[in-house]
Structures are given as C-alpha cells and as structure tokens.
Amino acid sequence: MTGVARESVTVPRLGLMKKEHRKIAVMTAYDASFAQAMDAAGMDALLVGDSLGNVVQGRKTTLPVTLEDMVYHTGCVARASTHALVVADMPFLAFQGTAPQALTHAGALMRAGAQMVKVEGAGVLVDNVAYLSARGIPVCGHIGLTPQFVHSLGGMRVQGRGDEGRRLLTDAQALVAAGVSLLVLEAIPAPLAAEITATVAVPTIGIGAGPACDGQVLVMHDALGLGGRRPRFVRDFLAGRGSIQAAFAAYVEAVREGSFPNGEESYPE
C-alpha cells in the first residue's frame, strides 16, 4: 500500500470497522524504522508493547520494563507513524496503583505520542479504566493470558477453559462498561473468543484467540520468524518472501481476508 492515499486510523474508526465487519491488522512496533515500514504496509494500529522487555532487552518477562522505557519507545514509534493508530502498553505497576497515579502514567505515554493506552487485567482495575476513560484517555483492555500476571498464572498458558471462560466473559463486559475502546484477547479458546466478540460492542483483537476476533495482533519478531520455539498461533510471514516490507504486507492481507489465523493456529475449547 506504499504510495496509496488513506485516512489516518482513529479510535472511532476502529469501532466503525467492527460494525462494517472489516478486520483490523495490528502488530507490535518498538522503533521508527519498523514503524514506518508497518505503516506503509497498511497496518491499522501499532502496539508499542512491553514485550520489548523480551524481544529488545532480552529479559525473561515483561515485568522489569519501566514507564521510562515505554515513553522512549512510544515516542520513537509515534514519530514514524503517519496513518496507523499508536497504542502503548502501561507497564507493570504503572496502572495498578491509585486512579490519579494511573492517570499520571497514562498521561506520560500520551504526551510521548500514544493515542491509546493498553492495560492488563480486570477486577479491581476496572475502576481505573473508568477514571482514565472519563478524562479523555482511550483505553485498550487485555484479558486472557496477561503476561504481567505470569507468576500468579503459573506461566504462559492458555486461559479461559472450563468455568474460567465465564469469568473472562464477565471481565470483558465489565471493561466495556467501564469505557474501553478496544479489547485484546490473548491465548484463549477460539469458541470463547467468538462469544466475547459477538457480545461486546467494541472491537476485539486476538492473539492466539482464533479467527472470529475483529482483528489480530502479533509480536513483530514472531511474525518475522525470529527467536526460538514459536507458539501455535504464530505464523512466519517472512518465509518465502523477499523482504520485511513484503512480510508486513502479507500479514495485513491475511488478517484482512480472514485467512490468518486458521484452525491449526487457534486453541480449541
């Protein structure tokens, strides 16, 4: 899509895409060069993920990532993104404090160039979502496998099977009622993701959540075949293609036409 004129993606436009059944293509970005390439490929949103702790800093978890890290990388991505919406993760403990503290931390990311912040979890954190949303900060929720809760979850495992699925559905509804504009569903059974997507009014973005979500997101390094053992929901979009730019374009096309993820790249009930 290089050279093709298109409108910048906004928060309301994402909501319209859900209503019009147009799939949303999202990928993580951490610097200006890759952000520019993703933007040119037609990506709808760029997620400045705290996954940078793993893929950029070489850490075992996302927990050591600081707010200062996120502000820096958000600024790098935002300066290079012309059309795609920039979403920034609120790192570990940046959102779990008081509502005014969460507002201050979210404000730092917005000043760096984010147009939305992403928060992990629900429950007692829902009140902070409402506090931010009421003050003009668009919020993306994230439920299912939430890496910031890796120790309490007992590892990076599929969530939402059995009775736990009802809790995740309740969490999704609570987050939407509190004002989230977007909802990431990670590593949950495809039938549960389909039910949540059909139930909530905001777009759902899946990562290991099956094809029924309103959009998909992958960690850039996974989508390019980098790293070691890959989860089942990851596809190497660089394989058989001559450039990273072509890989990004292929990912966008696969998400748009609904061919990614397929059944083998999804988790059963």
Please, which residues have CB within 8 angstroms of residue 199's CB and are 6 or more apart in sequence?
169, 172, 173
Say how far apart CA 205 and CA 142 lie, in whole Å. 9
Neighbours of 31 (CB within 10 A): 17
List beta partners, residue 86: 46
Q: Would you tell me how many other CB atoms lie within 10 Å of the CB of residue 21? A: 8
Count Cβ atoms below 10 Å from residue 191 Cβ, excluding itself.
16
CA gap 214, 40 in Å, rounded: 21
Strand partners, 23: none
Q: Cβ–Cβ contacts within 10 Å for residue 188, how many?
A: 28
DSSP 84: S
Q: Would you call 257 a catalytic residue per the annotation? A: no
Distances from the Cα of 210 to the Cαs of 24, 66, 232, 268, in angstroms?
Answer: 14, 31, 11, 9
Q: What is the C-alpha to C-alpha distance for residues 251 and 269, in angstroms, rounded to an integer?
A: 26
Cis omega (within 30 of 0) on the bond before 191?
Answer: no
DSSP state of 233: T
Catalytic residue among 186, 253, 264, 269: 186
Q: Are 64 and 56 in contact (CB under 8 A)?
A: no
Which residues does the annotation mark as catalytic?
186
